[in-house]
Amino acid sequence: CLPGRPPSIARRPPPPPLSMELARRSMLALCLALAFGGVGAARSGAGMGVRVAARTLMQRSAKERVNLIALSFHAAENALGIPSNVTKEKEAKVVKTLEDQTSHLEATIAQMAELNKKHQSTDETERLKNLVGSMKPADRAMMEKMDKWDKRMNEKTRLGAMDVLSRLKNAIHLVKKGALTGNEEAKERLGKVLAHMTAMAGQDTAKFLH
**Residue 115: how many CA atoms within 13 Å on its side-chain side?**
21
CA distance 180 to 78: 16
CA distance 186 to 173: 9
- 33-72: pLDDT as tens digits: 444 444 444 444 455 567 777 777 767 788 888 889 889 8
Annotated domain spans of the chain: 7-209
What is the pLDDT, as a whole number, of residue 48? 56
Q: Is the pLDDT of residue 121 over 50?
A: yes
Higher pLDDT, 166 or 147: 166
Average pLDDT, rounded, for the chain: 76
- Among 129-143, 151-165, 186-200, the minimum mean pLDDT is found in 129-143
What is the pLDDT, as a whole number, of residue 202? 63
